[in-house]
Each structure stands twice: as C-alpha cells, then as structure tokens.
Structure 1
Amino acid sequence: MADPDRVVLWFGGHLRDHTEALVRADDHGLTVGDGVFEACELLEGRPFALTRHLDRLERSAAGLGLPAPDREETRRAVLEVAEAWGPDLGRVRILWTAGPGPLGSDQAWGPGTLVVAASAVGEPRPVHVSIVPFTRNERSAVAGLKTTSYAENVRALAWARSHGGDEAIFPNTRGDLCEGTGTNVFIESDGMLLTPPLDSGCLAGVTRAVVMEWATEEGIDVREQRLPIDALKEARHAALTSSTRGVVPIVGVDGRELAPGPLTEAVAVAYIRRHLEIPDP
C-alpha cells in the first residue's frame, strides 16, 4: 500500500519537493478559486483516461474564460509524475489556475499556473450516502465545470459524515437528483441503469461517460433520465461512479440499507476488466 503522506509534485517544468513554496500569494486560484482541475486514477504507473480528462480540463477552463493550458506540456507533466509515482494505486491531480491577479473578482493578469501532483488513494469500497439539505444550482455560471471552488463540497461532505454517510448527494433547485461531491449517481430501475442528465447541473464525469459506453456494449440498458430526489430515497439498488472509485454500490441512503444490485455488479466487473485493458479509452 502506498504511503498516505507521499506526494510527487511537478511545477515549472520539472519535479519539485512538494514542501516548497511555489505558488504566488496573489494567484487567483488561491484568492478567489479561479481555476479548474482534473483527477485521474493511477494504475501501474499509468493515468487512466488521460485524454478525456484533458478534454474536460480545457472545457472547464473555457467555461471560466481561461486560456487552455498547453496540452503537450500538461501531458508530459502527468506522465513524468506518474512514472515517478510508480506502480502503487494513486491519483494524479492536474491544477490550472488563472494565475496572479487582483485580490478580488476582477479578471486575473496571468499567465496561468499549472501544478500536477500525485498522492495515494484508498481501494474502492461500497458507500453509504446522505442526501444533504443544500442544492446544486443547475443554472449557475459554473454548473458542469470542474472548478477549484470546492467549499460547497467540503461543507456538504462534512455534513454527510456527521450523519453517517461516506458521500453527500445533492438535489438541484428543481428537487431532482443531481450528483455527489465528486461522484455521479446511477439507479437501477426496471432492468435499466438510470443517471441524471447533464442539464440537472451535474458534472459530466469521465467515469460516468465511460461506464455508459461500456455498459451499452455489454448489453446493459443505460439511460439519462430526469429523476426526483425521492428516486434515490426509494431505490432498491444504486451506485456511484468517479475517477478514483470506479463503479461502487451504494449500500445505504440516509441510514436505509441497500443491497448491491445485479446491474451495478455486472458493470463494475466489466469496468474493472476493461479499464485495465484500455488505459486511455
């Protein structure tokens, strides 16, 4: 098992000691959360689905009005960090901020700041979830973008854990099922896997997209569908997907126990097999 305190860091063109002070105090990513990020699973020293993650990083940057980071430099940085990390299970985080700027909400001066770092991650396991009394705003200016403004998620996850959950689940302002703090939700219903559509305000998860494609190829009916939050409260079987979890069953919702469902188990087996065979789908 990887050392939980180990960090491999790339900044400014090469690997650095992660305890070095590297980012300016007036970096907009620090002062106002004006930045975007991605997190890829590291398997045997290889980042999973890196191309899709870089695509989404660029979409998120465009959504914030930021220039895209240099893709080849970013890819080289990720691969250098992954090689230095080695074969242990981990994750690599790609951070791109607007760079130095005013201590307020006016536009940053730039140039942007790129940081790539790897750290340990636990083995995926079934999860208990708590539905939080907060909402995702599907009409927000940053809806669907993977930004560094994560305070909302931090508070929601703390609330969920204080109520016995491993993950927090948000409804949106319409009262529909949306997403977790870092996960997408699937519900088994009438022989199908259902997941909220992107206009619910949820993030277009890389693992969500891969699971939908691979499940379809395995003969499993998977669909995007608007779902009330009560659909999760009443579900017999449900699952979460994310880059570091893969596909895991939800085994509790607000203290109500659930059993892993047959579709979740089938998709999880297919995902484990395929994502070892196809590192950059």
Structure 2
Amino acid sequence: MTLVIWADGRFVEEGEGALSAVDHGITVGDGAFETCTIVDGQAFALSRHLRRLGRSLAGLGLAAVDEGLVREGVTAVLGRAGRIDGRLRITVTAGVGPLGSGRTGAAATLVVAAAPSEIAAEGRAARSPWTRNERSAVAGLKTTSYAENVVALAEAVAKGADEALLANTTGDLCEGTGSNVFVERGGELVTPRLDSGCLAGITRELLLEWGQEAGLPVREARAGELPFSVLDGVERGRARLLLTSSGRNVQPVTWLDGTELPAGELSLAAQELFARLQRERLDP
C-alpha cells in the first residue's frame, strides 16, 4: 500500500492536483496540521490530536473545522489504507486566498493522508545553530509554516543526525524540529516547560501522564533547570536524552553530534511503557 490521500471529500492520486494554486496554505503556509500514529490500521490518540488541531486553528485566528467531517475523512482514508502501522496526517488551511498575507474568509481546505512507516528504536540528534522564538505569534502552534524546521533538519541530516535540537532565545533547551525532548539525569526524566516555546506534544503529554501513573519519575522542568548546555552533559555521559513524537513514539537518543551514547535506563523503561499502553489504549 502506498500513500492514500483524501482532499475535501474525495480520494486523489499522489501526483494529482487537489488544491488551488492560490490556496493560502500553499502561498503563505496559513494552516495547521496534526500527525497521528497509525496502529494496526487505527489512528492513535485521535481525540487529543483533534483538540490540539482546534487550539492551533484558534491561535491562528481560523475558524474551527467540523470534527465530524475530519473523522469522516480519517475513516475513509484508513479504510482504504488497511491494517497498517504508519502515519496519518490531517491538514487544514485557510483555503483560497490572495497572494499576500491577508485573508478573504474563504472556506477551509481539508486534507487527510496516510502511509505506512516504521518507527526506529533509536534516534540521532545534532544541536542546531538556530533558535526557537518562544515569543512568536505562533509559538506552541502546529502550523504548516515549517520552513525553519526544514532548514534546521536538513543541516542536522548533513551532519549524520535524524533530528535537530533547538534552544529558545533565552538559551534554554526547547525541542526538536518535530519532537519534544526529555533529559534523563539524577534518576528522573525531565522535559522543557511549555513556556519554553516547545509544542505541547501528544506523546510528551501521554508520557507525563502514563509515567506518573506507572511510578516512573517523569516531570516538567522547573524554570531555568534545562539550559541548552545540558546537552554538553549528555555528550560527556553525565545525562541521557530521549525524543518523543508521533513519528518516533518514545525514542532514546544514542548519537549526539558525532558521539555514540548508550540509551538511558529510564529512557528504555519509558519506551517500553509507552509501546505497551499505546496498543492497550487506542484513544486515551
């Protein structure tokens, strides 16, 4: 099975045109999206993803999308995709608009797509020379304006990594281009606070909830607790690193800027816990 695409109520082929050339999502990146893990043909944590999609659209000043219509598209796509493990993407744009940043109030565009994929057991990360702006108008929103992530990730891939790690403008550890980060040290897994500018990741959220439920020492950082320089300690073996996202689930980092690293004991426990509960609790 290859890519399955459903756009505004109909299936389209991968190379077939489906959006207007002046859709605001294309011309200026005016839209929001969600990516869900597909587990045995079903979307994991779909309700949480749809709630976050609503928050992103509201933060952009766009109208809420009809949840029933989104679920209809998801059902159609997954029905055609079959019982795969993979990724589901839901994209909502502002629809047809002008060539500039202004909006016309056109009807939104909705695209749902799915494809099989595999999740690697381990990750490779590189520190990025660029920063995340925690005071941006779209900080914490999952928008289609992803160019800065594309550039940062390409730079990291050129170094041999599969993710770039970013500080924010105050020098605190923030997130990856498409992942949240946890630092394992002092017998705890600690993740940057949301006010660092990082995305409120669904996998991050669930690991915090499920970890606390299972007695795993996992928590948000205190203010100033995780400066970007904490990664020096990771590289020197004084701490461990973990990435979370729908494309990675819970993934220990075993390579940082050219240095091979062992997976942390707590990181591996968190990975096992999440993998088990993900298949037991489809829509937590």
1:238 is aligned to 241
Counterpart for residue 29 of structure 2? 33
2:96 matches 1:100: yes
Provide the residue aligned with 2:281 in structure 1: 278
Q: Distance in 1 between matches of 2:251 and 2:136?
A: 29
Letter in 2 for 1:278: R
CA contact (8 A) 1:81 1:117 kept: yes
Secondary structure in 2 matching 1:30: helix
Deviations 1:190-238 (A, max 9, x none): 1111000000000000000001101111101211114101112212211
Q: Residue 251 of structure 1 contacts residue 258 of structure 1 at CA under 8 Å; is this kept in 2? A: yes
Comparing 94-103 with 229-238, which one deviates more in the overlay? 229-238
Match for 2:218: what amino acid?
V
Query: Which structure 2 residues correspond to residues 72-91 of structure 1 after superposition, within 5 A?
Result: 72-91=68-87
C-alpha distance in 1 between matches for 2:104 and 2:273: 44
Partner of 1:131: 127
TM-score, length of structure 1 as denominator length: 0.96
For 2:41 and 2:124, the matched residues in 1 are separated by 30
**Could you tell me which of 23, 46, 50 is aligned with 1:50?**
46
Q: Residue by residue, what CA displacement relative to the aligned partner does 1:86-142 show, whole Å, maximum 9, x if unpaired?
A: 122211100000011110011243111000011222232211100010000000000
The answer for the alignment partner of 1:121 in structure 2 is 117
Q: Structure 2: give runs of 5+ residues left out of the alignment.
A: none
Contact residue 128 and residue 167 of structure 1 kept, 8 A: yes
Name the aligned partner's letter for residue 68 of structure 1.
A
Matched residue SS, 1:134: strand
Distance 1:108 1:256, change over 3 A: farther
RMSD of equivalent CA atoms: 1.1
Q: Does 134-143 or 260-269 show the bigger shift?
A: 260-269
- How many percent of aligned residue pairs carry the same amino acid? 51
SS in 2 for 1:83: helix
Separation (CA, whole Å) in 2 of partners of 1:18 and 1:7: 7
- 1:47–1:79: 8 Å Cα contact kept in structure 2? no
Please tell me whether the aligned partners of residues 38 and 93 of structure 1 are also in contact (alpha carbons under 8 angstroms): yes
For residue 172 of structure 1, report the CA deviation from its aligned partner: 0.4
Cα deviation, residue 83, structure 1: 1.8
Contact 1:233 1:253 in 2 (8 A): no
| Structure 1 residue aligned with 2:168 | 172
Tell which deviates more after alignment, 82-91 or 136-145: 82-91
Where do 5+ consecutive residues of structure 1 fail to align?
none
The amino acid of 1:251's aligned partner reads T
Preserved CA contact (<8 Å) 2:133 2:169:
yes
What is residue 158 of structure 1 aligned with on the other side?
Answer: 154
TM-score (structure 2 length as normaliser): 0.95
One-letter code aligned to 2:158: S
Q: Distance in 1 between matches of 2:77 and 2:113?
A: 7
Does residue 264 of structure 2 align to residue 248 of structure 1?
no
Say whether residues 1:224 and 2:234 are aligned partners: no
- The separation in 1 between residues aligned to 2:111 and 2:150, in whole angstroms, is 21
Q: Give the 3-state SS of the residue equivalent to 1:100 in structure 2.
A: coil
Moved more, 103-112 or 26-35: 103-112
Q: Deviations over 1:62-99 (max 9, x none)?
A: 00000011001101211221121112221110000001
In 2, the alpha carbon distance for the partners of 1:155 and 1:14 equals: 33
Distance 1:248 1:126 in 2: 5
Name the amino acid aligned to 2:258.
Answer: G
Q: Is the 8 A contact 1:124 1:246 kept in 2?
A: no
The alignment partner of 1:74 has SS state of: helix
Q: Give 1:125's aligned amino acid.
A: A
Decide whether the 8 Å contact of 2:12 with 2:18 is kept in 1. Answer: no
